[in-house]
Amino acid sequence: MSKQEAGENHHGLAPWCEECPLRRLDLFEDFSPSELGFMQGFKIAHRVAQAGATLMKEGSADGHLYTLFTGWAFRYKLLPDGRRQILNVLLPGDTIGLDAVIGDPPYYSVQAATDISYCVLDAIRKLPVLFRDHPSLALKLTRIALRERQGIDRRLTLTGRCAAEERIASFMLDAYDRLAARGLVRDHSFLLPMTQNQLADALGLNIIHLNRMLRRLRECGLLLIQDREARLLDLEQLRRLAPIHGGLTHRRPLL
């Protein structure tokens, strides 16, 4: 696994917060002008990184907070013997490295699944000011943390109590819903830039078993994965199969 560097990018495509296209999505909550003004000073860089790059590594904090702007990433935990659990998948608008709020170094790592771009927020210097002078943003931050907890709770329930096919169906519907809210779904299909190895680590399954279950779902006409693209062939049956779905439809806070 070659380590790739994250690159700085101050020019060109990095938008000002006021014109951030993410904020225009219905998915995210509105911002007051004063909030926006603070965020503009909070943000200190816009960076890009290549697929496979490690954005954050277990045990080492850099005092920054990121907001994913384009692309996919995932947060995971490694066990000493090499086993990996992917804790959640990060999509545009998601916050990375909330633990900077605690001050403790993170107990997990974050890796880019595609080429990505992201905003860098100066957590260590600006968070105290944020909490002191912008209670509405502080509340937003807390709510982001609680949303994340909700997502992990779902994943835990799925992993602890559901069969392989149920997990896959729930995962795909979840990705479908989240991507649809970002305008990244066309005709019931979306880009799925994860290897089956990563998918398996996210679902708590063995890669070989996952592969077989994907085949079965394909043969049943529910789901097709091909060339990094997932196509949900029968949404209704998928929803019937998935024990957990929906419920994340409210507007979400965005930093």
Partner DNA sequence: CGGCTCTTTGAGCGCACTCAAACTTCGTGG
Partner DNA sequence: CCACGAAGTTTGAGTGCGCTCAAAGAGCCG
96 binds a second copy (CB under 8 A): no
Q: How far is the CB of 219 from DNA (least distance, A)?
A: 9
Q: How far is the CB of 254 from a second copy (least distance, A)?
A: 15
207 binds DNA (CB under 7 A): yes
Q: How far is the CB of 233 from DNA (least distance, A)?
A: 15
20 binds DNA (CB under 7 A): no
Separation of alpha carbons 185 and 205, rounded Å = 26
Stretch touching DNA by CB under 7 A, among 9-17, 181-189, 201-209, 242-250: 201-209
Q: How far is the CB of 214 from DNA (least distance, A)?
A: 6
Cβ-based nearer residue to a second copy, 6 or 138: 138
Sequential DSSP letters for 8-29:
E--STTPPPGGG-GGGGSTTBP
Cβ-based nearer residue to a second copy, 41 or 221: 41
143 binds DNA (CB under 7 A): no
Task: Please tell me the count of residues contacting a second copy according to CB under 8 A.
Answer: 47
Q: What is the largest CA-CA distance in the chain?
A: 57
228 binds a second copy (CB under 8 A): no
46: helix, strand or coil: strand
Cβ-based nearer residue to a second copy, 44 or 131: 131
Q: How distant, in Å, are the alpha carbons of 70, 132, 216, 230 from that of 90?
A: 10, 29, 27, 17
Which structure tokens are listed for 204? Answer: 């708590």
| 8 Å CB contact between 172 and 232 | yes
**33 Cβ contact partners less than 8 Å away, ≥ 6 residues apart:** none
205 binds DNA (CB under 7 A): yes
Which of 6, 91, 138, 233 touches a second copy by CB under 8 A? 138
Sequential DSSP letters for 57-126:
BTTB--S-EEEEEES-EEEEEE-TTS-EEEEEEE-TT-EE-GGGGT-SPPSSEEEESS-EEEEEE-HHHH
Give me the residues paired with residue 223 across strands. Answer: 232
Angle between helices 33-42 and 135-161 (to 10 degrees): 80
Stretch touching DNA by CB under 7 A, among 19-27, 142-150, 209-217, 246-254: 209-217
| 8 Å CB contact between 74 and 53 | no
82 binds, among a second copy, DNA, none (CB under 5 to 8 A by kind): none
| 8 Å CB contact between 73 and 110 | yes
Residues that bind DNA (CB under 7 A): 1, 163-165, 195-197, 204-215, 225
Query: Which residues contribute to the site for a second copy (CB under 8 A)?
Result: 77, 79-81, 83-85, 87, 98-99, 101-102, 104, 107-108, 128, 131-132, 135-136, 138-139, 141-143, 145-150, 152-153, 155-157, 159-162, 201, 203-204, 243-244, 247, 250
